[in-house]
Amino acid sequence: MSGNRPDLADILTGDLDAAGRAAAEERMRTDPAFRAEVERLGPIGDALSALPADAWEQTAPPPLRARPEVVPLRRFRRPSGGVLRSAAAMAAVLVALAAFALGRVTADGDGTAAGRTVELPALAAGAGSGSAEIHADGAAMTLRVADLPPSADGDFYELWLLNSPTDLISVGSFRVPESGEVEVTLPIPLRPERYDFIDLSREPVDGDPAHSGESVLRGETA
Amino acid sequence: MSTATLPRNPDPVFGKPALRVVADDDTQIALALRARRDGSLEQVYERFGRATFGFLIQMLGDRGMAEDVQQEVFLEVWRRAPQYDPSRSGLLTWIMTIARSRAIDALRKRTPEPRDPEQATRLVDRQGGAGSPDAVLERWQVAHLLARIPADEARLLRMRFYEDRSQREIADATGMPLGTVKMRMVQAFRRLRTMLDEEAGA
């Protein structure tokens, strides 16, 4: 402590003798700003004082015993290259086949639906139609599209949550079979209400994860 | 195919996903976890596992039980990852809250009475200020954040609060003027306070 007038560091660190504590109490009584700062920072000192040795010694935790399965979302959209492109096309075809055969692709969760539905009108005539059902728990959405042009060899469709061309997040990718119809359930990485639009774009298989700028369907979330 | 384009944007890098623009490591880890990317749970565990385990050992007083609950906590973190909302709290706070809940569950299971879960929670919360779940939780949040503040500040805090040296002794040991030691102590406190408030979403 410095002299008879304890400073903030003395009080926060508890570096006070009996006279210092009395002086600190007096200063806190007469100096409201000082008192407020002590009260704001004091719990940090309490926490530090109570930390056990493990906390200071950086003791390692036990290793994780089980490792959950990883959902391979958008795995085919890694940086370009001939082999990767082939793998991407193959992966996309597999997703499309699954969607076609099962009528539904569940990428995650139990698919709890019964949430609210956002209509996704076409942005140009003849570009199909769709809707996105945001599940009640907000953790996933089920997209249903119809009359969309089938995916070609070098492209696929991608679903986005979007505020602007620079504020958007990909929800997932899929291919559309000859029927033009797809139902796919995808986990939502962020709360959908944070975004103004749900957007479906057509994307080239070029290894670029950015939005292509070619939107097909779009609906307002509000 | 008939398509329309997004509205014109002056940004020459049109369409770059916001996910690429991340502010810090925690944000990157949180985004990866939410998307359940391969390796993201391991990253989260490496970063936060020590704090949760320290909290659980202190809460449960039994290392074996703490190890079991630790596994439950991170499986739940993985299961609920898509629901994590960074606008509501920091990742540390979110994970520690899960750890708190699982610790209370474990205490309820261990204690035959009372049977009313609400009452059990109240009893746990009444373990006294210093030993209450919230106090222990904040303590381990602070422990976690010690590794995030500048090393020289963390070193001074360690010397004072772990090695139990006075500020004068710290000044002598480090060769710093006493005033500098005190200034850095207060800086460290303020930094930790700010980080805790940000974590809590304040």
**DSSP per-residue codes, B150-188:** -HHHHHHHHHHHTS---HHHHHHHH---HHHHHHHHHHH
Q: Which of B143, B160, B167 sits opposite A55 (nearest CB)?
A: B143
**Cβ neighbour number for residue B202 with a 10 Å cutoff:** 8
Answer yes or no: do B193 and A166 touch at CB < 8 A.
no
Could you tell me if A161 and B35 are in contact, meaning their C-beta atoms sit under 8 angstroms apart?
A: no
Round to whole Å and give the CA distance between B181 and B169. Answer: 10
Partners of residue A129 in chain B, C-beta under 8 Å: none
Interface size, chain A vs chain B, as Cβ–Cβ contacts under 8 Å: 192
Pick from A65, A77, A200: nearest CA to B35: A77
Q: What is the CA radius of gyration of chain A?
A: 28
Instruction: Please state the pTM of the whole predicted model.
Output: 0.56
Distance from CA of A18 to the nearest CA of B (A): 15
On the question of pLDDT at A123 being above 80, the answer is no
Question: Which residues in chain B are contacts of A112 at CB distance < 8 A?
Answer: none
Q: What pLDDT sits at residue B94?
A: 94
- The pLDDT value recorded for residue A195 is 81
Phi, psi of A89, rounded to the nearest 5 degrees: -60, -40
Residues of A in contact with B87 (CB under 8 A): 191, 194
E strands, chain B, are 4-5
C-alpha distances (whole Å) from A23 to each of A1, A7, A27, B165, B180 are 10, 10, 6, 21, 22
Contacts of B73 in chain A (CB under 8 A): none
Q: Say yes or no for a CB contact (<8 Å) between B130 and A62.
A: no
Query: Which residue of chain A comes nearest to B186, CA vs CA?
Result: A9
The tokens 């020590």 sit on which residue? B50
Do the chains contact at A211 and B15, CB–CB below 8 Å? Answer: yes
B14 closest CB neighbour out of A138, A165, A209: A165
Distance in angstroms (rounded) separating the CA atoms of residues A153 and B142: 53
A112, A113, A120: which is closest to A221 by C-alpha?
Answer: A120
Q: How far apart are CA A132 and CA A145, in angstroms?
A: 9
- pLDDT band for A164, please (50, 70, 90 cuts): confident
DSSP A18-38: HHHHHHHHHHHHH-HHHHHHH
Name every residue whose Cβ is closer than 8 Å to that of residue A72 and which is 6 or more positions away in sequence: B38
Name every residue whose Cβ is closer than 8 Å to that of residue B138 and which is 6 or more positions away in sequence.
A43, A47, B196
Which B residues in the span 51-90 are in contact with A, Cβ-Cβ below 8 Å? 52-54, 57-58, 67, 70-71, 74-75, 78-79, 82-83, 85, 87
- Mean pLDDT, chain A, rounded, equals 75
Separation in Å, CA A124 to CA A177, B2, B6, B84, B114: 20, 6, 12, 36, 64
Residue of chain A whose alpha carbon sits nearest to that of B187? A9
Mean pLDDT of B19-32: 59
Q: Do residues A116 and A98 touch, judged by C-beta distance below 8 A?
A: no
Contact state of B15 with A15 under an 8 Å Cβ cutoff: no
What percentage of chain B exceeds 90 in pLDDT? 51
Does residue B151 have a pLDDT over 70? yes
- CB contacts of A47 in chain B (<8 Å) are 135, 138-139, 141-143
Helix (H/G/I), strand (E/B), else coil: A130: strand
Measured between beta carbons, the chain A residues lying within 8 angstroms of B166 are: 15
Mean pLDDT over A141-151 rounds to 88
Position B182 scores a pLDDT of 95
> Which of A60, A14, A9 is CA-nearest to residue B147?
A60
- What integer pLDDT is reported at residue B10 of this predicted model? 29
Inter-residue contact A178 to A197 (CB < 8 Å): no
Question: What does the pLDDT look like over A63-113, one tens digit per residue?
Answer: 987 655 543 333 333 333 444 444 444 444 444 444 433 333 433 334 445
pLDDT top residue among A108 and B125 = B125
* Closest residue of chain A to B10, computed from CA coordinates: A165
Contact: B17, A45; criterion CB under 8 Å: no
Residue A158 contacts by C-beta under 8 Å, 6 or more apart in sequence? A170, A172, A173, A200, A201, A202, A203, A211, A212
Which phi and psi angles does A185 have, rounded to 5°? -110, 125
Other CB atoms within 10 Å distance of the CB of residue A137: 15
Q: Residue A167's pLDDT band (boundaries 50, 70, 90)?
A: confident
Whether A215 sits inside 8 A of B3 (CB atoms) is yes
The one-character DSSP state at B130 is G
What is the distance, to the nearest Å, from the Cα of residue A10 to the centroid of all Cα atoms in its chain? Answer: 43
* B10 in reach of chain A (CB within 8 A): no
Q: Which of A43-57, B19-33, B77-91 has the lowest mean pLDDT?
A: B19-33
